[in-house]
Amino acid sequence: MTRILVVDDDNAIRSAMEAYINMDGFQTASVASAEEAIEHLQTFGPVDVVITDIMMEGMSGLELTDYIRNNYDTDVIIMTGYSAEYSYEEAIRRGASDILFKPARFEEILLRLKRVLRERKLTHEREVMLAKLQELSITDELTGLYNSRHFHARIAKEAERFRRNHHPLSLLLLDIDHFKTYNDTYGHLEGDQVLMRMGDIIRNSLRSMDSAYRYGGEEFTILLPETDAEEALVVAHRIQESLLSAQFFPAGTSEPVPITVSVGITEYMEEEAVVTFIQRADMAMYCSKNNGRNQITSLLSNDQRKCIQCLNSWSSGNPS
């Protein structure tokens, strides 16, 4: 139910307004001062609209408006009998949604209240729609994970956080083994089913602070803040074990078809470029492929010279 709070130091006006607004189906309360209004909000929680007189003992209606707009998602309608001193523009500038000049008929107050509530509803609906559009713009439609565009934005922020706090940051890059062969054999619809299941498995293997992305095709990346390479290895094993226990039955098959992933792990190093960080995870993943697939390879910056053979395979473009 829509909640309204009336603030006026005139007992007769306050009581009459509360009764009249209640008659129209709103849940209305009333208090005699701005200080009591703040106490009411702190005790009973925010309301949808506050209707407040502008001139009161202690805190004024404009000061109350400032406080409400800074602390709550609540609209404010200001009432004043001093039209020469307080303009509509000043009230709006202070955060009011509307201003009424006394004496105002109760019918007019109710009409203004309903208009503010309609605009409030439209604003909230617009915010919800914009949030959904924003979410769609950064989400991979098939897997429900974030997309590669959001990955590049997020990894830059995580690298900046590393530079400030010097807490570890790890990156996993996963590639589904022989996925092209699977697609060619069973069809792209079955391949899409594998990708969707893979998204679920990854999502269920992470903490709330972690984030996962469909990097492209059958490749996935996972950002693990506050996590070193050794801890990231635990996450990689968890994903592999979940994938091992999952069973994939493409149409027309009576036996499950095993799906495995090759995983590369690396840890962010001081002052390195983000692109170098990503490339090292890619190198580690291709080392896993070169060593027989269904493997996990951790590759730190000072280990790169150990992977010359893998890097040669990587550069020559081994099939997935």
Model pLDDT for residues 42-89, shown as the tens digit of each residue? 999 889 999 999 888 889 888 999 999 999 999 999 988 765 555 667
Task: Select from 189, 230, 235, 229 the least CA-distant residue to 210.
Answer: 235
How many Å apart are CA 105 and CA 216, to the nearest integer? 63
| Domains of the chain, first to last | 3-136 (3.40.50.2300), 146-316 (3.30.70.270)
Summarize pLDDT for 170-214 with one digit per residue, the tens. 999 999 999 999 999 999 999 999 999 999 999 999 999 999 999
Token pair, residue 315, equals 């550069």
200: exposed, middle or buried (C-beta count within 10 Å: 0-12, 13-18, 19+)?
Answer: middle
How many Å apart are CA 153 and CA 133, to the nearest integer? 17
237 vs 102, more confident: 237
Residue with tokens 């190093």: 269
CA distances from 103 to 53, 107, 281, 296 (A): 12, 12, 71, 76
> What's the Rg (C-alpha) of the chain?
30
Q: What pLDDT does 80 receive?
A: 83
Token pair, residue 3, equals 């909640």
- Catalytic residue, chosen from 158, 190, 218, 219, is 218
pLDDT-based confidence at 13, cuts 50/70/90? confident
Token pair, residue 13, equals 């006006």
CA distances from 111 to 73, 75, 78, 118, 140 (A): 21, 15, 14, 11, 45
Look at residue 320 and tell me whether its pLDDT is greater than 90. no
Q: Is 125 a catalytic residue?
A: no
